[in-house]
Homo-oligomer: A and B are copies of this chain.
Amino acid sequence: MRDDNAAVTKPLHQKMSEDLLRRVQSGEWRPGELLPGENALALEYSVSVGTARKAIEELAADRLLVRQRGRGTTVANHSYRQGLFHYYRLMSKDGLPVNQETVYLGVTSARASADEARALGIKRAAPVTRVRRFRLCQKQPIVLEHLTLREELLPGIGALVDAARPEVLYSLMEREFHIIISKVEEKVTAVLAGAEDTQILNIAAGAPMLQIERVAFDLKGRAIEFRIMRARNEAHYFSEVP
């Protein structure tokens, strides 16, 4: 087994858990793929089954692994982790999801603006891919989105998005680039509708709108995507702490 850490005092289950995380990060097991069973892993790490179980359960609690009795343990794919968005999400006033349908307006290659560079923690003028699209809810355009993707980490994603126009971008990142989005930060502010909102979303100029700025990070903590969403006031941002 690998021991990444100098501190010998760290519990075995924690060292094992960190090593498993590293191996998932490295792509040794892909999302949806079965890991070795508890007994095999316990043997490999020379720990008891109980300790191996504890290590695995820590990652399962973080929703990185999915355990199914009778089947085995797999790396979670995005549809599992999307449950993370359960606790705060944009929704329509009827409680409907806001992304029933997506319309793409354009995919372009560009150099990072100052704002984009700051949000993504990259150099100004670094290569990025920009995606412009909007979301429909009950046939009405409701959210306008500007996405900025790091070209360096997702080479050629522009063409893929243009071809596939995927509903869930994060699944495409997993499948094509083995990049697993595991953390998202969102900053919500109130703004007044501008020219673009007026045009695309058919909103009165000067009407109040919600603006959500999202930065998505992968398992290694790298900022992958910066997204600005502006929503009609028929939508609201909902969050819940259990």
The 8 A CB mask of A167-193 against B (1 = contact, 0 = none) is 000000000000000111111111110
Judge whether A208 is part of the interface by a CB distance below 8 angstroms: yes
Count how many chain A residues have C-beta atoms less than 8 Å from C-beta atoms of the other chain: 29
Q: Are A189 and B241 in contact (CB under 8 A)?
A: no
Give min CB distance, A96 to chain B, whole Å.
14
Contact of A210 among B88, B186, B189 (CB under 8 A): B189
In the complex, are the beta carbons of A85 and B237 less than 8 A apart? no
A94 close to chain B: CB less than 8 A? no
Q: Are B191 and A239 in contact (CB under 8 A)?
A: no
Measured CB to CB, the closest approach of chain B to A207, in angstroms, equals 8
A119 within 8 A of B: no
Please give the distance in Å from A59's CB to the nearest CB on chain B.
13
Q: How far is the CB of A9 from chain B (nearest CB, A)?
A: 14
Using known A-B contacts A188-B236, A236-B188, determine if residue A85 contacts B183 with beta carbons closer than 8 Å: no
Q: Which of B61, B186, B191, B242 is close to A240, meaning CB atoms less than 8 Å apart?
A: B186
Q: Are A189 and B236 neighbours in the complex by a CB distance under 8 Å?
A: yes
Question: Do the beta carbons of A188 and B233 come within 8 Å of each other?
Answer: no
Query: Which of A88, A183, A184, A191 gathers most chain B CB within 10 Å?
Result: A88
Looking at A87, A210, A240, A241, which has the most chain B CB atoms within 10 Å of its CB?
Answer: A241
Q: Are B240 and A189 in contact (CB under 8 A)?
A: no
Interface readout for A109-133 with B: 1 if CB under 8 Å, 0 if not? 0000000000000000000000000
In the complex, per-residue mask of A217-242: 1 if CB is within 8 Å of any chain B CB, else 0: 00000000000000001001111111
Instruction: Please report the C-alpha to C-alpha distance between residue A236 and residue B189 in the assembled complex, in whole angstroms.
Output: 5
Most buried by B among A84, A184, A192, A208: A208
- Measured CA separation A129–B93 after assembly (Å): 28
Contact residues of A between 86 and 100, Cβ < 8 Å to B: 87-88
Is the CB of A209 closer than 8 A to any CB of chain B?
A: yes
Q: Which residues of B contact A242 (CB under 8 A)?
A: 62, 182-183
Contact B238 A188 (CB under 8 A): yes
